[in-house]
Chain A
Amino acid sequence: MNRPIRRVAVAILGLFGLLILNANYIQVVQADDLRNRPGNARVLLREYERQRGPIVAAGSAVARSRATGDRLKYLRTYPGGEVYAPVTGFYSLVYGATGIERAENDVLSGEDERLFVRRLGDLVTGRTPQGGAVVLTLDSRVQRAAYDALRGKRGAVVALDPSTGAILAMVSSPSFDPSVLSSHDPGEIRANYARLSAAPDDPLLNRAISRTYPPGSTFKVVTAAAALSSGDYDPQTRIPSPTQLPLPLTTRVLRNFGGGSCGGATSTLADALRISCNTAFGALGLRVGADRLREQAEAFGVNTTYRIPLAVARSVFPASVDRPQTALSAIGQYEVRLTPLQAAMIAAGVANRGSVMKPYLVAEVQGPDLAVLGRTQPQVLSRAVSPAVAEQLTAMMRLVVERGTGAAAQVPGISVAGKTGTAQHGEGAPPHAWFLGFAPVEAPQVAVAVLVEGGGSVGSEATGGRVAAPIARDVIAALLGQ
């Protein structure tokens, strides 16, 4: 009987061999796939075992973890609440993370490779590992002022330091309290998330970077920049400003808001911008051409994607437009769409002598011992216009605020440059109100863009100035005012 026993022994070894091969397959080959399955709560549970690092703005934590007595050792809390929610995002047991919580998760959770040496130390000494801190560029006064000014409206405010690209304020309204999604009770989290995502005003949406809007007349700054850069125009060049501009190839005409005239058959480029003359800029767009307009827009950052480190929606100037569409695009209608951040970048580019800086939210990251692990260095994203053109645009935009549609953005004692916009988006819907600008004109310290969804009223170009400009004023005053 020994022969069959030997054969059975070989077969048995084969069975164990299969088990071992299969274990290798699962624990090595397939391991990464399995670990990254959405059903894997283990990774999250491990993250909750160590203290997650804080998110800091202007010296105080806007998100931090505190020890609890329950199974998940640390609870994420948001002292920054609704004001900072679009930036911090949330950190949820059920829905994962968003915002900086997601973008800088490696640092906050302590998994970042720059924390490797420290982790080794923790392993040896038995010290509980901790996450690092993320220090934001946000200025708490500006952020708060922007949030307060937007309260009760749907919209967004972005403020940049034009010389560095550092984001001083990023507000989206309505907002939400991230704490309600970061509790340790999955049922409660699910109920809160369902409520927030069903809310008609979409409080979970970061309007500053995640959605694009027709920019309306604020885009005339880009059109003007293209014209001035062509060398064929200066601010005093007289351009046609008819009451109606027939759109080529169609029977339709372009009118000014309210159907009025722009004060004569021609006006200077500067005046056309000051009173936001649609027909003048429509005609100017046709003269400059779609390609130049697109190139100019792209020089300000349109049609590209970037991270700040949150992902920013791509602002668009359409790839191909015919002549009537060119005229509409020149006044920020048709399919031109910008994020509020992109609008702020246009203002910042003009303010920074034509150079657009890469916007960023994270000033530096720190280890748990507050040692600086990395600091963001300002980078030039693009040269949008020459310093000379930037100077001309600045002068023209200053007139908009001093004696034009943007008068509501005036701040006593501070010179402000800007441009209003009232963007139509569909028949009958109240248009979006826009303002972009910067201050002080002599040495710009802040560039700001304000969007209020549906904040304008049909037929009045001035509403962008009435609704959005005062918000910009509050933001500028918060930073520069006494």
Chain B
Amino acid sequence: MSAETVTSSPTPSPSTRRGVELGLLVFALGLVSAAYTAVGLARSGAVPADLASSAAALAVLFGTAHVVVRLVAPYADPVLLPVVALLNGLGLVLIHRLDVAAAERARALGRAVPRTDASLQLVWTGVGVALFVLVLVTVRDHRRLQRYTYTAMLAGLGLLALPALLPASISEVNGARIWIRFAGFSIQPGEFAKLALMVFFAGYLVAKRDVLALASRRVLGLDLPRGRDLGPVVVAWLASLGVLILERDLGSSLLFFGIFVVMLYIATERWSWLLIGVLLFVSGAAVAARLFPHVEARVAIWLDPFADASGNGYQLAQALIGLATGGMLGTGLGQGRPDMVPFAKTDFIVATVGEELGLAGLMALLLLYVLVVERGLRTALAVRDPFGKLLATGLAVALTLQVFVVAGGVTRLIPLTGLTMPFLSYGGSSLVANWALVALLLRISDAARRPPPLARPAPDEAATQVVGIR
């Protein structure tokens, strides 16, 4: 991985690979347009009338993102933006497909046709790209974020705690108190808290890593930290339990704590932190499962979704049956019944993919996420400063955990938790926050691949050196 830095430094003007990014973006847009057309053909037998205008809207949005990357982060990773654009575009198509199903159902029952979520999601995509641009333009060097370590902590904890402090009438939806609802909009501040907290984790751990890594006692072949150094991990654990208890949000709780523990491990290179983290979380979750009926209910559904297939287990049972109906190749876009799964647009969008695009489509989707995460980790390996390494890893792990928790929940690998599939699920906060996340990754990858100006040797010296090396 570090080979990249080696091979790029001797080249006077290393390739920015922006052309590759543009080509991949065009390809992604083509795939999304094809998917949109497939839905139209399947549901109404015609190419959607707004195909051209919809494709143009996405082209403008993603094109803008591409141009901004060209201008302010020319050495950024060329794969991240196209993959994210493809995920976002496919998400729009899937949400549109479920809109169509909802409209058909409403018409059949003689009810008013509900508003289309896809158009709203398109607006959120615009907001997301805007934030993406804003982050790239304002954060010219990711290391400057390190200065705001404790500001980020305050902002992160504040955002996280906000819904719990607000009255439930504003913050509670479907039992989870993670919202701020006003003027017809609803925002999940936790999605943004996630970003701020990762900046804090990275800054804090860079500052304290030596203490956390070196001061230790050896017990049973394991380097255990001193008692007083346990402070931060205990605080993070308590905070994540607080999220779980006060906001009833199992998914976010797992996400925050998981990110923190992995970043702690990377900063200190000590397995003992992982072990301590896992033990703390498992014990906390076990207690929570006893104490809170909604956690216990989810575990029961996970163990046997068909025990109460028309009640509590209905959603998961329908999702599993949908996945099975899809089989290897799926029913085809627009030709399944993904609308039979409640919350298909948000938490259960993976079930829609599995039913209509089949196992092949679902695996392809997961591999797209693997690509994003792998590119993030590659950036972490390549970037030189520890803060960037930690932050990039944290961002990649954040995406991984979200995908794992959501897809694992829908496919009954783990109990269900309420999280959204990054870029794919319906939901403004998650989409916008994840666009900011990718902007940060691109910013770090730009730094990682940018040829260091100081290390650039004088021309004559370079010539002799190149001959000498080769």
Contacts and interface: CB of A to CB of B under 8 A. Distances in A.
Interface of A: 1-6, 8-9, 12-13, 15-16, 18-20, 22-24, 26-28, 30-35, 37, 39-43, 45-46, 69-71, 126
8 contacts: A8-B397, A16-B370, A18-B413, A22-B412, A27-B354, A39-B309, A40-B321, A40-B325
Nearest to A4: B266
Contacts of A40: 321, 325
Nearest to A126: B45
A22 B319 CA distance: 14
B323 interface: yes
B381 A8 contact: no
Contact of B359 (A2, A6, A24, A69): A24
B327 A27 contact: yes
Contacts of A70: 108
A23 B362 contact: yes
A28 B411 CA distance: 13
Given A16-B370, A19-B366, 10 more contacts: A1-B269, A5-B393, A16-B366, A19-B404, A26-B354, A27-B358, A27-B362, A34-B321, A39-B306, A42-B322
Interface string B103-123: 011001100000000000000
B10 to A, nearest CB: 21
Contacts of B325: 31, 35, 40, 42-43
A5 B370 CA distance: 15
A26 B320 contact: yes
Interface residues of B, number: 57
Interface string B373-406: 1100100110000100110010011001001100
Contact of A42 (B340, B363, B403): B340
B196 interface: no
Interface of B is mostly: helix
B269 A4 contact: yes
A22 B108 contact: no
Interface in B275-307: 306
Interface string B164-196: 000000000000000000000000000000000
A23 B397 CA distance: 21
A46 B321 CA distance: 14
Nearest to A46: B337
Interface string B357-372: 0110011001101100
B435 interface: no
B411 A37 contact: no
| Most chain B CB inside 10 Å of its own CB: which residue of A4, A12, A69 | A12
7 smallest CB-CB distances across A and B, nearest first, come from A34-B324, A71-B108, A31-B324, A27-B359, A4-B266, A39-B309, A22-B413
A22 B105 contact: no
Interface in B403-443: 403-404, 407-408, 411-413
B321 A23 contact: no
Given A1-B386, A35-B321, A35-B324, A12 B400 contact: yes
Nearest to A33: B324
B159 to A, nearest CB: 26
Nearest to A40: B321
B57 to A, nearest CB: 29
Nearest to B355: A42
B307 to A, nearest CB: 12
Contacts of A39: 306, 309-310, 317-318, 321
